[in-house]
Amino acid sequence: MEKVKILCVADGGVTRQLMEQMYELRQYNAEVTIVEDAAMYAMGPITDRMLLLEQEGVDAAPVCPQLLENCADKDIIVVHVASINKQIIAAAKKLKVAAVLRGGYENADVAALTAKHIKLINAPWRSANAVADFTVGMMIAENKNIARSHKLIFEGKWCKNYVNQSYIHDMRTCSVGIIGFGYIGQRVTARLAGFGCRILVYDPFIDAGKFAGQKVEFVSLEQLLAQADFVSVHLRLSEKTQHFIDRKELKQMKKTAYLINTARSGLVNTAALVEALQNRSIGGAAVDVYDVEPLPGDHPYLSLDNITLTSHLAGTSCDTMRTSVEIGVEDLKRYLQGQAMLNVRN
């Protein structure tokens, strides 16, 4: 029986050492080859590439030479950030499955894969735990002024009175609004349960009945914005969700509420958020993602005293990359055994 040929493209995130877990597939009559994407040698270039793909699409990124040179006879291609674009798809004559070991799959040309009946899978919850941990941390940091106090101490200042002094609350007294109740939103909710928060959820794309018995309240977007002390966004960015939080939504929030964005910058209208923070029409914000990265030195965020900023760190964890490979391996095991894969995207 002819072996199934698998090509894996390692990089500075999903390293060769981590990608070697794919060798487990050999027991299912697979031949596994690993090459390295020399351009994506570290997390800096990888983060830049991810932002480029999110903002401009798969055709904006260059072809990985190592992938192109080795893909012609492969049945399965496994990548992290290397692009599976039209050029790769045309060259990979035998391709049946494309696996992207990321939460998103912007580096794959979904339409071109679908047209050739090539299955696309990804690792949708690979960073869910890391982002959920970080999101709760951002809530607490903004509410309790942790980052601001840290910065001021380094500047030789001992501050005991902050702009939100009149609305610093214990988490147990707060209502938290979760917009998007997928892998990350559900994990944020689980972490907040220990604080005793009231949890409000808005997600028009899920069956609320599946969560009966859980201590969450499914409400309209208007109800969530009006009642939540924290509004945390966990949607996937698309044409429909671009600027999902805009001036209208910010005006519906409490004047003491905090907006948390650890998802995608495009989900929030940055100009509208700046205005809301400058005018004190909301209480504050905590932001990890930006329209331009690194954040420009003249960005209006940097003149505000009611925002906590971090440098796109939410998904950073030693466990994220390992988890992404584990998810990919398990789905490919299913494929090689003739079973349905769980994370098919087309």
Using DSSP's 3-state secondary structure scheme, residue 309 falls into strand
User: Per the residue annotation, which of 293, 299, 330, 334 is the catalytic one?
Assistant: 293
- Closest among 267, 195, 256 to 228, alpha carbons compared: 256
Q: If you count them, how many residues does the chain have?
A: 346
Using DSSP's 3-state secondary structure scheme, residue 67 falls into helix
Task: Reply yes or no on whether 117 is catalytic.
Answer: no
DSSP symbols for 103-144: SS-TTB-HHHHHHTT-EEEE-TTTTHHHHHHHHHHHHHHHHH
Task: Reply yes or no on whether 293 is catalytic.
Answer: yes
Task: Reply yes or no on whether 69 is catalytic.
Answer: no
User: Per the residue annotation, which of 148, 187, 234, 312 is the catalytic one?
Assistant: 312
How many whole angstroms separate alpha carbon 147 and alpha carbon 121? Answer: 38
Q: What angle do CA 331, 337, 341 make, to 5 degrees?
A: 30
Location of structure tokens 């923070």: 277
Location of structure tokens 């190592």: 66
Q: Are 317 and 127 in contact (CB under 8 A)?
A: yes
What is the set of active-site residues?
264, 293, 312
